[in-house]
Chains A and B, each alone.
Chain A
Amino acid sequence: MSLTSISFVFIFLPASVVLYRIVPGIGRNALLLLLSVLFISWGNPADMVLIALSIVFNYFTALELAHLRRSGGTLMKRLVLGSGIAANLALLVFFKYVVFLLNNIGALTGIQFHLTLPQAPIGISFFTFSAISCLCDVAKGDEDAILNPLDFALYIAFFAKITSGPIVKFREMAGQIRQRSLSVQSLEEGFKLFITGLAKKVIIAGSLGTVYNAVKAVPLGSMSALTAWEGALACSLMLYFDFGGYSDMAIGLARIFGFSFSKNFDYPYTSVSMTDFWRRWHISLGSWFRDYVYIPLGGSRVSKKRNIFNLSVVWILTGLWHGANWTFVIWGLYHLGLLLLEKFVLRDITAKIPSLIRSVITFILAVIGWTVFFAEDVAYAALYLLRMAGIGGSGWSDRTGMYLLSGGWILLALAIAGSTPLFASAAKKISTLNKPAAEVIGTLFFALLLLGSTAFMISDTVSSFLYAQF
Chain B
Amino acid sequence: MKSIIFEICRWAAAAAAIVFLISLGTPPADSHADPRKVMEAACGSAEMTNMQQAPNQVIKRIYGINPSDYEYCVLYYPLTNMNVDELLIARYSDAEQESALCAAAGNRLDSQKQVFESYGVGQTELLTNHSVIDSCGGFFLFAVNTRSDDIHEAFIKALEEE
Contact = CB atoms under 8 A, between A and B. Distances in A.
Contacts of A87: 14
Nearest to B19: A53
Nearest to B28: A116
B3 A68 contact: yes
B93 A115 contact: yes
Interface residues of B, number: 32
Q: Tell me what chain A mostly uses at the interface: helix, strand, loop, or mixed.
A: helix
Interface of B: 2-3, 6-7, 9-10, 13-14, 16-17, 20-21, 24-25, 27, 30-32, 57, 60-61, 66, 68-69, 92-96, 98-99, 138
A124 to B, nearest CB: 12
Contact of A116 (B10, B13, B61, B93): B93
Q: Which are the 6 A-B pairs with shortest beta-carbon distances?
A: A64-B6, A60-B10, A56-B13, A57-B13, A118-B24, A53-B17
Contact of B3 (A56, A57, A67, A380): A67
Interface string A360-380: 000000000000000011001
Nearest to A219: B57
- Size class of A's contact patch? 20 to 34
A380 B66 CA distance: 12
Given A60-B13, A116-B94, 19 more contacts: A46-B24, A53-B14, A53-B16, A53-B20, A56-B10, A57-B10, A60-B10, A61-B6, A64-B3, A68-B3, A91-B17, A94-B21, A115-B93, A116-B27, A117-B95, A117-B96, A119-B99, A217-B61, A376-B66
A217 B25 contact: no
B138 A120 contact: no
A53 B13 contact: yes
Given A87-B14, A216-B60, A217-B57, A116 B3 contact: no
A173 B69 CA distance: 38
A60 B13 CA distance: 9
Nearest to A120: B96
B21 A217 contact: no
B32 A114 contact: yes
A72 B60 CA distance: 58
Interface in A37-67: 46, 49-50, 53-54, 56-58, 60-61, 63-64, 67
Nearest to B16: A53
Contacts of B9: 56, 60
A411 interface: no
A57 B96 contact: no
A46 B9 CA distance: 21
A91 B25 CA distance: 13
A115 B30 contact: yes
A119 B60 contact: no
28 contacts: A49-B20, A50-B17, A56-B9, A56-B10, A60-B7, A60-B13, A61-B10, A63-B6, A64-B10, A67-B6, A68-B3, A76-B3, A103-B93, A114-B30, A114-B31, A114-B138, A115-B93, A116-B27, A116-B95, A116-B98, A117-B25, A117-B95, A117-B96, A119-B99, A120-B96, A216-B60, A217-B57, A377-B68
Nearest to A379: B68
A57 B6 CA distance: 9
Contacts of A53: 13-14, 16-17, 20
Contacts of A120: 96
Contacts of A103: 93
A84 B7 CA distance: 11
Contacts of A308: none
A99 interface: yes
Contacts of B30: 114-116
A109 to B, nearest CB: 16
